[in-house]
């Protein structure tokens, strides 16, 4: 891989995350004030001590002014970034590089999304004027990800009923985890029968196979690693930041079989090289992954190297990724149960890593976690951007 | 000598269900079909033409040439003129006369809409037919063309209304019967014939349509429209149905009683049996399946249904549609001349070998493909949800994702073979979004 990485060069010293959900009472501005305030408070830093800001949002505002106006940020650099559903991670990635470069001492990464004001189901697209022929103009996200299910069962000879069971397990697990999370959108354990009998959205995906459409914001304060203990006695160090944008070959190439995200494979390999990880399943304490739809989480277990090809559905059913499993995945409920306010999600994943690595995760706290992975994906099978980070509570 | 070189007919897959109260097979176009898409389907199998004459009583656009989209979808050279002849079945004969003079493709199509419970709803039909005229090895020679014109208020429609009206049928019947007999006599006399082997009489007048087989008798067959009155398409559909079955050296008299009467007299050649249309009118008529009446009414805008809670799509934009015309209308991709990888839609930088601007255009519309994976999208906006989408791998290379037309989700699996059909994905901002869909044949 061509990336040099910035292992242990920067650290997170403060984080904030709003409750995700149908926040009818809160505007985008309110969510930003809430998340940034919590992040500043946890680091013991004033707004004016932050040297630069990166803001990620898909569709809740344009430009840095979306953040500088509600917070009254006074003539500081504020950059808005967008990278589909990986937008929050992109904000964090740029903030880390800004500190690592030496340009700034303290940088804040913020992500926000206000999805529930539109009145529509699912995500809206703001596409440039076009010839009207692109399939993604009509094919919705659940439909695009539902393509994984028949392709996966066909390739590995999996009984569709067993695959359905595995998809149900992912939803069930993430609801069990989310029930322990006071900031999650859905805080209820949902019976397997309820998940399977839910109204269908696309293909075999029912309502419970889809992530929550929600409002929310999250923020992280990043400083140089050597300064980290000035702010907190439990900083979280950045071990790896990897991003891969695909050439969108899968939608054009009959060789692509809709059972993998090559972008995830590439970004994971890059991240593991940066962090010096040889066996992710053994070395990682937890993983927060992009479970936008239940089959996505199954395929990601293989793409991230947590199991062999064609095995993930079995491992899922065996409980390997449950809270008490060999590698807990989406301990905080994931997109499924925590909710998916697009621009905030990547930072929300880091927020759970932050809590777990500091021992602050309450009733879902894992025993002695050292290394956490976050994986955030934007796009769809056949063409997406994929982000992988590794963070840890020890500076190497 | 200009003769008939080929013909084609297209009938939509749907028939009004029994819940409509309509007995018999009322052929209805799907929500994504119109007089432009059906014209393309009728003419697709025919070779290139020197001119294109499109006629319809239900044009998708006014103040814009519908024939231009047909021209683009048939991938005709830009030097081929294309024009609309809008009005009635008389327009189809105007196209015939033009094509007889210079050679050309005459294609007529209609989506006939009647008020719920009306005669037009019951006894109309949606469809398209095409006739290719030119120099060369003809399947039929033209013995004569004749017309009578009469201004009479028998059938009419206000331009802003979706459905039309008719005067008392017996008034029109008496006038038309005389005109039909007059035109038939003139054509037969001119050719020195006592009678034709096959006679087809079509008309929007219900009395003429009912007695079509009795007005002018043919030695071998006498009849009317094969599907019910289909407007501008009716005389050509009637002719196509006869060409499907007629033997060599037989005469065919087609009479269209609309605001007068138009007639054409043909004699088939020895070439006809070997050059019939691949899909006969009768076979297409037999192949339909029912659509529930409320669904049909919503397709025609006569019943407003609740749609998924999704935004309506943006209208297709003019400049991008123009730049991508060969793709959007012609389904032409680009193949890398360095490595052979086929791109759908066309791209400049090869996805396989990264060579730039080494592409050649490859039309793919007439190729078959197989389903790589598929889904039923119940959330997507559609004039008739749910949307069924398939990822299609084409014979000879190339993959793309398409909506499925006339979809029966239970008939689709990984590996199902599909073909392409020209359809209207949706209409937004008054702009029809024409593109290709996959169909299971």
pLDDT tens string B269-314: 999 999 999 999 999 999 999 999 999 999 999 999 887 788 888 9
Span A254-262, average pLDDT: 97
Whether residue A264 contacts residue A377, with contact meaning beta carbons closer than 8 Å, is answered with yes
Quote the minimal CA–CA distance from A216 to chain B in Å.
21
Residues in chain B closer than 8 A to A256 (CB atoms): 399
Cβ <8 Å between B379 and A127: no
pLDDT tens by residue, A343-369: 999 999 999 999 999 999 999 999 999
Quote the minimal CA–CA distance from B343 to chain A in Å.
6
Token pair, residue A228, equals: 């980290």
Per annotation, catalytic residue among A175, A290, A340, A375: A340
Token pair, residue B177, equals: 């019967």
Quote the minimal CA–CA distance from B381 to chain A in Å.
7
Cβ <8 Å between B379 and A122: yes
pLDDT tens by residue, A299-339: 999 999 999 999 999 999 999 999 999 999 999 999 999 99
Span A107-121, average pLDDT: 94
Q: Is residue B383 pLDDT above 90, yes or no?
A: no
Q: How confident is the model at residue A125 (pLDDT cuts 50, 70, 90)?
A: confident
Q: What is the dihedral of CA A313, A319, A324, A329, to 10 degrees?
A: 20
What is the structure's pLDDT at A396?
84
Cα-based angle A118, A345, A244 (whole degrees, multiple of 5): 115
Cβ <8 Å between B314 and A129: yes
What is the structure's pLDDT at B294?
95
Q: How confident is the model at residue A120 (pLDDT cuts 50, 70, 90)?
A: confident
Element (H, E) at B390: strand B387-394
pLDDT tens by residue, A237-247: 999 999 999 99
The 3-state DSSP class for residue A134 equals coil
- C-alpha distances out from residue B324 to B33, B316, B320, B333, Å: 21, 11, 6, 10
Whether residue A350 contacts residue A92, with contact meaning beta carbons closer than 8 Å, is answered with yes
Q: Worst-scoring range by mean pLDDT, A13-17, A83-87, A188-192, B308-312?
A: B308-312
What is the structure's pLDDT at A124?
82
Cβ <8 Å between B389 and A143: yes
What is the structure's pLDDT at B394?
98
What is the structure's pLDDT at A135?
86
Neighbouring CB atoms inside 10 A of B247's CB total: 12
Round to whole Å and give the CA distance between A170 and A172.
5
> Is residue A385 exposed (0-12), middle (13-18) or buried (19+ Cβ within 10 Å)?
buried
Q: Is residue B389 pLDDT above 80, yes or no?
A: yes
What is the structure's pLDDT at A148?
96
Q: How confident is the model at residue B191 (pLDDT cuts 50, 70, 90)?
A: very high
Round to whole Å and give the CA distance between B313 and B433.
10
Catalytic annotation present for A340? yes
Question: Please, what is the average pLDDT of chain B?
Answer: 96
If we measure between CA atoms, which residue out of A361, A332, A118 comes closest to residue B311?
A: A118
| ipTM value greater than 0.90 | yes
Q: How confident is the model at residue B113 (pLDDT cuts 50, 70, 90)?
A: very high
What's the start-to-end Cα distance of chain A, in Å? Answer: 21
What is the structure's pLDDT at B427?
95
User: What is residue B105's DSSP assignment?
Assistant: E
Q: In the sheet where B359-363 sits, what is the strand order?
A: B342-343, B332-336, B359-363
Q: Is residue A2 pLDDT above 80, yes or no?
A: no
The HSE-up count of residue B360 (CA atoms within 13 Å, CB side) is 6
Q: Of the candidates A140, A146, A254, which has its C-beta nearest B399's C-beta?
A: A254
Catalytic annotation present for A75? no
Residues above pLDDT 90, as percent of chain B: 93
Report chain A's C-alpha Rg in angstroms: 19
Q: Is residue A189 pLDDT above 60, yes or no?
A: yes
What is the structure's pLDDT at B229?
97
Round to whole Å and give the CA distance between A57 and A217.
10
Q: How confident is the model at residue B381 (pLDDT cuts 50, 70, 90)?
A: confident
Q: Is residue A1 pLDDT above 80, yes or no?
A: no
pLDDT tens by residue, A199-232: 999 999 999 999 999 999 999 999 999 999 999 9
Residues in chain B closer than 8 A to A124 (CB atoms): 311
Whether residue A152 contacts residue A259, with contact meaning beta carbons closer than 8 Å, is answered with yes
What's the start-to-end Cα distance of chain B, in Å? Answer: 38
A63 preceded by a cis bond (ω within 30 of 0): no
What is the structure's pLDDT at B311?
84
Q: Where are the beta strands (DSSP E) in B245-383?
A: 251-257, 260-268, 289-291, 332-336, 342-343, 359-363, 369-377
Span B183-192, average pLDDT: 98
What is the structure's pLDDT at B24?
84
pTM of the full structure? 0.95
What is the structure's pLDDT at A344?
98
What is the structure's pLDDT at B382?
86
Cβ <8 Å between A202 and B401: no
Q: Is residue B393 pLDDT above 60, yes or no?
A: yes
């Amino acid at each position: 891989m061509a990336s040099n990485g910035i292992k242990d060069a920067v650290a997170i010293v403060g984080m904030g995350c709003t409750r995700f959900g149908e926040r009818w009472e809160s505007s985008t501005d309110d969510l930003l004030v809430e998340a940034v305030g919590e992040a500043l408070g946890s680091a013991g830093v004033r707004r004016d001590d932050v040297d630069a800001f990166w803001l990620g949002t898909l569709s809740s505002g344009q430009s840095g002014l979306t953040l500088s106006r509600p917070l009254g940020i006074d003539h500081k650099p504020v950059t808005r970034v967008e990278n589909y559903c990986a937008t929050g991670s992109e904000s964090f990635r740029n903030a880390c590089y800004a500190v690592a470069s030496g340009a700034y001492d303290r940088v804040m990464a913020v992500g926000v999304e206000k999805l529930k004001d539109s009145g529509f189901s699912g995500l809206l697209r703001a596409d440039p004027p076009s010839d009207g022929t692109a399939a993604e103009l009509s094919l919705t996200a659940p439909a695009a990800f539902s393509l994984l299910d028949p392709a996966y069962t066909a390739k590995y000879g999996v009984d569709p009923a067993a695959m359905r069971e595995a998809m149900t397990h992912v939803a069930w697990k993430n609801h069990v985890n989310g029930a322990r999370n006071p900031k999650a959108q859905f805080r209820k354990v949902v019976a397997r029968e309820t998940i399977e009998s839910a109204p269908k959205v696309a293909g075999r995906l029912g309502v419970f196979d889809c992530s929550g459409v929600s409002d929310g914001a999250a923020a992280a304060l990043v400083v140089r690693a050597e300064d980290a203990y000035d702010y907190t006695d439990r900083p979280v160090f950045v071990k790896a930041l990897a991003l891969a944008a695909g050439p969108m070959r899968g939608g054009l190439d009959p060789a692509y079989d809709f059972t993998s995200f090559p972008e995830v494979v590439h970004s994971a390999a890059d991240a593991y090289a940066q962090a010096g990880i040889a066996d992710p399943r053994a070395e990682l304490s937890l993983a927060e992954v992009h479970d936008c739809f239940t089959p996505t989480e199954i395929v990601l277990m293989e793409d991230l190297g947590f199991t062999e090809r064609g095995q993930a559905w079995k491992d899922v059913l065996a409980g390997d990724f449950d809270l008490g499993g060999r590698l807990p995945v989406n301990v905080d409920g994931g997109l499924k149960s925590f909710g998916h306010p697009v621009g905030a999600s990547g930072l929300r994943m880091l927020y759970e890593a932050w809590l777990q690595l500091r021992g602050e995760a309450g009733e879902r706290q894992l025993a002695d976690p050292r290394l956490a992975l976050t994986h955030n994906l934007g796009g769809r099978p056949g063409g997406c951007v994929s982000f992988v980070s590794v963070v840890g509570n020890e500076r190497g | 000598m200009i003769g008939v070189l080929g013909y084609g007919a297209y009938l939509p897959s749907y028939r009004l269900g029994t819940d409509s109260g309509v007995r018999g097979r009322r052929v209805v176009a799907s929500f994504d079909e119109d007089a432009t898409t059906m014209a393309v389907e009728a003419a697709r199998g025919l070779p290139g033409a020197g001119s294109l004459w499109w006629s319809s009583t239900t044009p998708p656009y006014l103040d814009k040439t519908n024939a231009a989209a047909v021209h683009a979808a048939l991938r005709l050279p830009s030097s081929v003129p294309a024009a609309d002849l809008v009005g009635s079945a008389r327009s189809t004969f105007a196209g015939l006369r033009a094509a007889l003079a210079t050679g050309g493709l005459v294609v007529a199509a209609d989506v006939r809409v009647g008020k719920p419970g009306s005669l037009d709803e019951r006894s109309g039909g949606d469809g398209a037919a095409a006739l290719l005229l030119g120099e060369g090895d003809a399947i039929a020679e033209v013995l004569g063309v004749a017309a009578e014109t009469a201004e009479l208020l028998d059938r009419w429609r206000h331009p802003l209304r979706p459905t039309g009206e008719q005067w008392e049928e017996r008034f029109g019947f008496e006038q038309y019967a005389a005109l039909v007999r007059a035109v038939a006599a003139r054509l037969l006399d001119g050719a020195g014939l006592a009678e034709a082997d096959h006679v087809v009489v079509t008309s929007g007048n219900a009395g003429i349509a009912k007695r079509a087989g009795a007005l002018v008798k043919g030695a071998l067959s006498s009849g009317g429209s094969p599907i019910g009155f289909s407007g501008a398409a009716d005389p050509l559909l009637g002719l196509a149905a006869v060409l499907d079955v007629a033997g060599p050296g037989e005469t065919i008299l087609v009479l269209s009683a609309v605001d007068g009467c138009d007639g054409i007299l043909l004699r088939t050649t020895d070439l006809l049996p070997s050059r019939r249309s691949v899909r006969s009118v009768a076979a297409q008529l037999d192949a339909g399946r029912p659509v529930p009446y409320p669904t049909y009414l919503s397709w025609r805008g006569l019943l407003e249904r609740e749609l998924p809670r999704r935004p309506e799509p943006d209208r297709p934009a003019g400049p991008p549609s123009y730049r991508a015309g060969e793709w959007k209308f012609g389904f032409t991709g680009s193949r890398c001349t360095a490595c052979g990888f086929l791109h759908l839609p066309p791209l400049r930088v090869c996805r396989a070998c990264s060579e730039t601007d080494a592409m050649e255009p490859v039309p793919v519309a007439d190729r078959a493909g197989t389903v790589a994976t598929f889904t039923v999208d119940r959330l997507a906006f559609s004039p008739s949800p749910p949307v069924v989408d398939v990822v299609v791998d084409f014979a000879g290379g190339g993959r793309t994702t398409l909506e499925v037309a006339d979809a029966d989700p239970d008939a689709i699996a990984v590996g199902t073979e599909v073909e392409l059909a020209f359809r209207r994905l949706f209409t937004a901002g008054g702009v029809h979004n024409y593109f290709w869909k996959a169909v299971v044949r």
